Structure 1
Amino acid sequence: MRPFWFLWGLWALLNYPLGEAQETLFLKGVRHEYQRFNNCGPATLGMALSYWGRPETQRQIAPALKPNPSDKNVSPEEMAAYARGLGFGVHQGMAGDIGLLERLLQAGFPVIVETWFVTPDHGGMGHYRLLVGYERARRVFYAFDSYLGPRIVLPYAGLDRLWRVFNRTYLVVYPRSREGRLMAVLGERGRPGREVRLALERAQQEVRGSPASPFPWFNLGSAWLRLGRPQEAALAFDRSRRMPPDRGLDPRPPGGEALGWPWRMLWYQFGPYEAYYQTGRYAEVVALASGVLARAPDHEESLYWRARARGALGDLRGARADLRAALGYRPGFREAAAALQTFR
């Protein structure tokens, strides 16, 4: 018997034919919005929702996603949960590629991509962008960028370099009525767990091709972790940390950090915390999280992981203090609330 995902994909393809590829495309109907401080996530999500006729802007979205206005990170999971709360479907994918982005746009779906971003004043940091079009002859995407403005031109290769830092994570927000068309575009990517495998294969390939770059190793660690292999994940993160830093992506590190990771890397991705915790390397979790908290004391994810590691080391008082602080910054942080109950 054919697996369900195959039959669903075949039905979607027959019912939602995609047509011939377009050489140039620009989706109209997106309302651009410039972000406020640390608000690229809420602003970009608002722009994506506007394409489908929703009125929400960062003014409504930010308080829900980041009760602490200085929150350094709004995760793809938080953005997806907000959109689902409005009745939308969301495909949160990873290991995307240029061809997939073109196909999604051609099918009428703007795409949120999580990328690295470098500014002259603030150095490197995470940043969301909304892709709304492309021009194949020039090999560029058009994006609505909450920091730079509307109709920003992003060369394919340049975007991929920045996108790779986040394992080529992407979000597609869509009305439930369009799910069949989206599944037709995604194909086997719509199968549960398939994109994690694609991420693993892509990272392994890039590790062989660029063994001195930290990001393929980091992505390899993230994929192994998602596949339930924390030991392999921890070893990959170790290799990533030992790689030479890419000063093009991290031109102004404070304090002369020598890690392969950009100094803000753990503001956005927490795989090393989890892998080291699961393999019993609690002191390293404490050290890494404390390094982040020295410069971002309100970083609730680092407070959470430091608390768990402190608890495992027997420092229950310190664990409780960290968890209470995390909940003060994000009252709806369910994992922190559950952990606090175990340390009473």
Structure 2
Amino acid sequence: MQLRRRWPLILVALIVLPMLVYQIPWVKTRLEWRLDLAQVFVRSRLNPVGELPPPQIASSSPEVEVRPSATALPPSPTPLATPTPLPPNFILTPPAHETQGPNNCGPATLAMYLRYYGWGGDQYTISDEIKPISADRNVNVDELDYYIRTRAGWLSTLFRVDGSITLLKQLLAAGLPVMVEKGHIIEIDYLLNDDYWNGHYALLTGYDDASGEFIYQDSYNGPNQRMGYAELDMWWQQFNRVYTLVYTPDREADVQAILGADWDAQANRQNAMVTAQLEVESHPENAFAWFNLGMNQVYFGEFNAAAASFDQARLIGLPMRMLRYQFGPFFAYYHTNRQDDLNQLVDYALAITPNSEDVLIWRGWALHKEGNINAAIQQFRLAQEANPKSIYTGPALTSLGATP
């Protein structure tokens, strides 16, 4: 009889106690990503997404016009100084390693980078300010740049594209670590028929010509990893060879001298355009070369050409998660009034990553283009829920007259 009386209390305890335990920070940290993974696994089995779809109506094969490089110099009667030869190897003392939390490679890698300069925080110091929800799977380069400028302003920073193996070695030999974003394989079956491709940050801290390898700090795989020059360039190309530099203000003249014309952001993109044009000519089967060409064309507002480049990349085939990290196709199809392609890619990207702040914003803009202002605002608010510290949702809401 007493057991019967206590049974409702036991039921309540069985329901409430796990909920209370889940709120303990270290328990939540360990369980949250596993629950999220389970949701992804189940969702992908119930609604398989397949490969990234080809364009609805592909543009005709684009003609590639190679532009002059912004680094081209007129003939000069004054002989140019011979560059100082690089040492055959150079290895910086790495900062204390930071093993990333779930979906936290950007903040973890940046934490190691800042730590190199004596900063005392960790990855959560950063993620609390730019992506406080661990299920947020992407941090863009400009979000990391924003953190440095607003929270570590005693350091200088910039990011550029179109890096090269030689440039990386020059920076390292000058005592400057470099953070890159690149493709990465994690062989875990998150999705049905998963291609395992993801984006990932790495902090380069050395190179060795004898082995032909870079030494880098990897928040997922561990400290002092090694990767061959050609292999790094292959993965790095998948992100337009973007790199971030953090340095003390007294090193600015050194950085400027090493970057040369690429110190100027416009000239840098011009050079990136030339690189992409040359690569699609020499390797027209390379989807990433076409994608990079499209990204650089978007930068210069050449949306028709960009749409054609993205069409080619899609026809060749791109990784399933490409649109989790890079959003150039949304810009191109939006500005060329290719609404069907825009909606198709937004739907696909959200099927892969339902809480993608960036893609939710693009769904909002797609709805805005169709004249559905209230629905657009609702999508912007969903993006804000996905990342309460978003640097993008406030301006989007304000532009439609809504309160951020």
* TM-score band, normalised by shorter chain: 0.7 to 0.9
Give the letter for the 2:129 counterpart: A
| SS of corresponding position for 1:141 | strand
Name 1:242's counterpart in structure 2. Answer: 315
2:277 pairs with 1:220? no
TM-aligned CA distance change 1:119 to 1:221, over 3 Å: same
1-structure distance, mates of 2:262, 2:270: 10
1:316 offset after TM fit, Å? Answer: 2.8
* Larger RCO (CA under 8 A, 6+ residues apart): 2
Counting only pairs closer than 5 Å after superposition, residues 1-344 of structure 1 correspond to structure 2 as: 20-85=85-150, 86-87=152-153, 88-122=155-189, 123-243=196-316, 260-341=317-398, 342=400
In 2, Cα distance between the equivalents of 1:161 and 1:192?
A: 23
CA distance in 2, matches of 1:316, 1:109: 47
How far is 1:318 from its partner? Answer: 2.5
Instruction: Report the residue type matching 1:151 in the other structure.
Output: N
Q: Deviations over 1:183-225 (max 9, x none)?
A: 1111111123111011111111110111111100000000111
Which stretch shifts more, 148-157 or 183-192?
A: 183-192
Shift of 1:107: 0.5
Identical aligned residues as a percent: 38
Q: TM-score, normalised by structure 2?
A: 0.75
Q: In the aligned structure 2, how far is the partner of 1:150 from the partner of 1:18?
A: 32
Partner SS, residue 126 of structure 1: strand
Structure 1 position 27, deviation (Å): 0.3
Aligned residue pairs total 315
- Distance in 2 between the 1:149 and 1:334 partners? 30
CA contact (8 A) 2:131 2:389 kept: no
Contact kept, 8 Å, 2:131 with 2:388, in 1: the verdict is no
Letter in 2 for 1:297: P
Partner of 2:38: none
Q: Distance in 1 between matches of 2:110 and 2:220?
A: 14
2:22 aligned residue? none
SS in 2 for 1:69: coil
Q: Secondary structure at the match of 2:261?
A: helix
Moved more, 308-317 or 199-208: 308-317
C-alpha separation in 1, matches of 2:387 and 2:246? 24
Report SS of the residue matched to 2:136: coil
Query: What secondary structure sits across from 2:245 in the alignment?
Result: strand
Cα 1:60/1:329, change in 2 over 3 Å: same
How far 1:29 moved relative to its partner? Answer: 4.3
SS at match of 2:397: helix
Aligned CA-pair RMSD:
1.9
The answer to whether the 8 A contact 1:267-1:292 is kept is yes
- Residues 120/300 of structure 1: CA separation in 2 closer, same or farther (3 Å cut): same
Q: Aligned pair in 2 of structure 1 residues 208, 19: CA closer, same or farther (>3 Å)?
A: closer
Letter of the 1:227 partner, please give it: F
Tell whether the 8 Å contact from 1:311 to 1:343 is kept in structure 2 after alignment: no
CA apart distance, 1:289: 1.1
Partner of 2:19: none
2:177 and 2:203 in contact (8 A); partners too: yes
Tell me the secondary structure at the aligned position of residue 193 of structure 1.
helix
For the 8 Å contact 1:293–1:302, the answer to whether it is kept is: yes
Question: Please, which runs of 5 or more residues in structure 2 have no aligned partner?
Answer: 1-72, 74-80, 190-195
What residue is the counterpart of 1:9 in the other structure?
A: none
Structure 1 residue 19, shift from structure 2 partner: 5.1
TM-superposition CA deviations, 1:251-293 (whole Å, max 9, x none): xxxxxxxxx1100000000000011111112232222111111
Output the amino acid matched with 1:333.
Answer: S
Cα distance in 2 for residues equivalent to 1:111 and 1:314: 44
| TM-score, normalisation: structure 1 | 0.87
Deviations 1:283-333 (A, max 9, x none): 322221111112321111101011111111123343122111011122343
CA distance in 1, matches of 2:210, 2:91: 14
Partner of 1:250: none
Matches of 2:181 and 2:392, distance apart in 1: 24
Q: Within 2, Cα distance between the matches of 1:191 and 1:324?
A: 35
- Alpha-carbon distance between aligned partners in 1 of 2:125 and 2:265, rounded to the nearest angstrom: 32
Match of 1:108, SS state, is: coil
